[in-house]
Amino acid sequence: MSTQIGTASEFRLDGKVAVITGGGSGIGRAIAFKFAANGAAVRVLDISQKDAEAVATEILNRGGTASAHACDVSNPQQVGSTFSAVARQGPIQILVNNAGVSHIGTAESTSEEDFDRVLRVNVKGVYNCIHAGIGYMKTAGGVILNMASIAGSAGLADRFAYSTSKGAVVAMTYSVARDYIGYNIRCNCISPARVHTPFVDGYLRKTYPGREQEMYDKLAKTQPIGRMGEPEEVASLALFLCSDAAGFITGVDYPLDGGFMNLHG
């Protein structure tokens, strides 16, 4: 019996095409850079053509392979045509469903309009992309990685619509993993706690003008580890889960939470 010493090469994505939704900013942007640096041909999908092109251009300037695609994940026709265009460039082996929106409110304070908007992007958007993309993976297999949140399995205050949507993403992950295991398609999700993204900075500027640093520190300390996560840390876990090194992992929700779920309180 021989034992091989693993190398970093097992985490590489050489020769694989990865579609990343919401790839123009925040966590999606970090995943796009990480995947490209490890050999993937990255298809950056974002509702903002400008943001998608900025990320794709930076990847190309670093010697990687990327293309930009404007795509509103809540629009099934647009998703279908975008995936069709991407598939013409080469077979899709990896789909990262990262695009999403946030919302603050309780069941009482959340309007029907806001509730529908959150579910349209965070739930229907994931469905639209899986529905459009998974058929391209059935021949040779592939990996689907969904971005959930600890809000989907923990009761976070004032996050009624967001928590509902992310709970659905976790359930969709389990369902897809079970239904497509026979096609060699793996499906997992990552559930981050608070991650320091431009969205967080914008929220603090808008909600707590003049108190941004104070409120940032307060939010950071809600994680037992004492800080927020960084987009690059989410990207590192995403790289592992989408690589061949994670070939025995499917149907799992991975908390990435600085100890929030198990050490809180």
Catalytic site positions: 162
Distances (CA, A) of 54 to 43, 49, 86, 135, 239: 12, 9, 18, 29, 21
Q: Are 142 and 164 in contact (CB under 8 A)?
A: no
Q: Are 71 and 21 in contact (CB under 8 A)?
A: yes
Rounded Cα gap, residues 72 and 252, in angstroms? 27
Rounded Cα gap, residues 224 and 24, in angstroms? 30
Region of 259 on the Ramachandran plot (φ > 0 left; ψ -120 to 50 alpha; else beta): left
DSSP alpha helix (H) spans, 23-142: 26-37, 49-61, 76-89, 112-122, 124-137
Query: In this structure, what token pair is assigned to residue 157?
Result: 């205050």
Q: Are 54 and 24 in contact (CB under 8 A)?
A: yes
